[in-house]
Amino acid sequence: MIARAIPATGEMLPAVGLGTWQAFDIGASPAEREPRREVLKRFVQLGGSVVDSSPMYGKAEGVVGELAAETGVASKLFVATKVWTSGRAAGVDQMERSMKLLRAARLDLMQVHNLVDCHTHLATLREWQQAGRVRYVGVTHYTASGYAELERVLGAEPVEFVQLNYSLEEREAERRLLPLARDRGIAVIVNRPFAAGALLRAARGKPLPEWAREAGCSSWAALFLAWILGHPAVTCVIPATSQPAHLAENMEAGVRPIADAALRDRIATAVA
C-alpha cells in the first residue's frame, strides 16, 4: 500500500482509507454486521488504516467501534470523526459521545464537519490536542458551495487536515484548495471519490480499457481512485463500501504506481 506523509509531522498514512457514510449505518443483525466485519478485517489485512466517520452518519460510529473491537483491529486503525453541532458545550458533549461509540481513549483526527461553528470547535480542539485527547485537527466540506469559506479557514487557521470532495465529476478543488493545502502543509483527505456513485453509473456497461489493466487497475473504481491519488496534494482517499469485493477493488488503487499526468489525462478522456 502506498503511504503518504502527513505534512505537519511526517507520519505516514496509507493512501486508501475507508469511509462509513451509509455503508456502516446499520442495525445489529448478523446479516447486516457480517459483511462490514469482513470489510474492516480485510481493509487492515490489505494495508489500510484510515477509517472516517461522523455523528451525521447515523449509527456508523458505534458500528465501527464494535466491529473494530470484535475483529481485533482497533489498535491498527487511524480513526477520524467529526464534530457537527453548534456551541462549545454541545460540541464537547458530541465529541465525548463519539469517543465512547468508537471506543477510543484518544482520537487520531477530529474534524469540524462542514465548518459548522468552526471557530468555536477549533478552539476546543486545540485544548484537546494539548491535553492529548486528539492527535490531529481538521476541517471538512463535501460541496463546492462551501469552498470560499473553506479556503478562508485554511488560510487563517492552523489545522493539520482538510477533507473535501474531489473526483473526475467534481474537480473544483484542484483550482485553489488543493494548491493551498499543499502550500500550507495541510494533509488532504478526499471524500465522494465516485461523486456519490455518478462516475460508477456512467461507466456501467463500458469495457475497461486494456491499458487500464496494464497500469494495474482491474476495475473502473480502481481507475477513478488512481486518478485522484495522482494529484500530489492528496494524502488519502476514503471510498465507502459495505462489500468485501468492492473493498478489494478500491484498495487496488493504493498498490499500483502513482498515476502520472499522462495517465490521469487518459483516465479523464476514457469517461468523458
Q: Is residue 147 part of a domain?
A: yes
In a domain, 112, yes or no: yes
* pLDDT for res 256: 82
Can you give the pLDDT at residue 79?
Answer: 98
Q: What is the pTM of this model?
A: 0.96
Give the per-residue pLDDT at 213. 87
Question: 3-class DSSP state for residue 164?
Answer: strand
CATH code of the domain in which 83 resides = 3.20.20.100
Residue 272 resides in a domain: no
**Can you list the residues of the chain whose pLDDT is less than 70?**
none
Confirm whether 7 is domain-assigned: no
pLDDT score, position 214:
84
Establish if 24 belongs to a structural domain: yes
The answer to whether residue 117 sits within a structural domain is yes
Q: Is the dihedral of CA 75, 78, 84, 90 positive or negative?
A: positive
- Sheet containing 134-140: which strands, arranged edge to edge? 18-19, 50-52, 78-83, 107-112, 134-140, 161-165, 187-191, 236-237
List, for residues 236-262, the tens digit of each pLDDT value: 999 999 999 999 999 999 998 888 999
Q: What is the predicted pLDDT for the residue at 258?
A: 87
Q: Which amino acid is at 272?
A: A
Q: CA nearest 226: which of 263, 176, 186?
A: 263
For 100, list phi and psi in degrees, rounded to 5: -65, -45
In a domain, 140, yes or no: yes
Check residue 203 and give its pLDDT: 92
Contact yes or no for 168/271 (Cβ under 8 A): yes
162, 153 Cβ separation under 8 angstroms: no
| Number of independent structural domains in the chain | 1
Domain that holds residue 166: 13-195+232-258
pLDDT of amino acid 2 = 94
